[in-house]
A and B are shown apart, each in its own frame.
Chain A
């Protein structure tokens, strides 16, 4: 149980285009989802926290208009990188938490999405 999927696993896009990454909880209801960014050999940097049906809370320094997050249902959150540029190239990881379940104090991680902007 507690499986989180991400799609796509890899994406290459041209500079100036927008890219959408999906994060799904497959066997539980994710009341809260988190989006992280990770550079090679570095730690995970939290970008934003989203609760189903409400606006995402962004961490300081993260551009809200650049990284659009939607958490429209209890099993799906999306991250859209708008007008992507090469500096947005990174590994993006989502995680999900079931705030109502027995594992409420645990986050379950997706496999990540590698974004390359040319």
Chain B
């Protein structure tokens, strides 16, 4: 069975600074996807960034980037130039590769509550 672990329940960062959120996972699968989701106070889940395990290049989306270490089963999220709107709960998630219309289950970590301070 797959597991996802986020060992930082809470973190804080000053506005405009950089912060890194940690995530490790355990799986015997070779083909899978990793995600970071943001859940602001509205509680709407928002996809921040996605990484395909078969890609060696780390994914980047504007101020958000990941450090994907497949051998170490590590998937950290770096937020650069932190903004007040980045304040949210962040969840790391794992999905096995599926074909067709079956499956697609997400396994979530415990979450990291990030506060961006002015």
Q: Shortest distance in angstroms between B32's beta carbon and chain A's nearest beta carbon?
A: 9
The CB with the most chain B CB atoms within 10 A, among A41, A43, A95, A100, is that of A43
Pairwise interchain contact B95-A105, C-beta atoms closer than 8 A = yes
The A-B contact count (CB < 8 A) is 64
Check B101–A109 contact: CB distance below 8 A: no
- State the majority secondary structure of interface residues on B: loop
A34 touches B102 (CB 8 A): no
Q: List 22 A-B contacts (CB under 8 A).
A: A32-B102, A34-B104, A41-B89, A42-B110, A44-B45, A44-B91, A44-B106, A44-B108, A49-B103, A93-B43, A95-B106, A99-B101, A99-B102, A99-B104, A100-B101, A105-B52, A105-B95, A105-B97, A105-B104, A106-B50, A107-B104, A112-B44
**Interface residues in chain B, defined as those with a beta carbon under 8 Å from any beta carbon in chain A:** 33, 42-47, 50, 52, 89, 91, 95, 97-98, 100-106, 108-111, 113
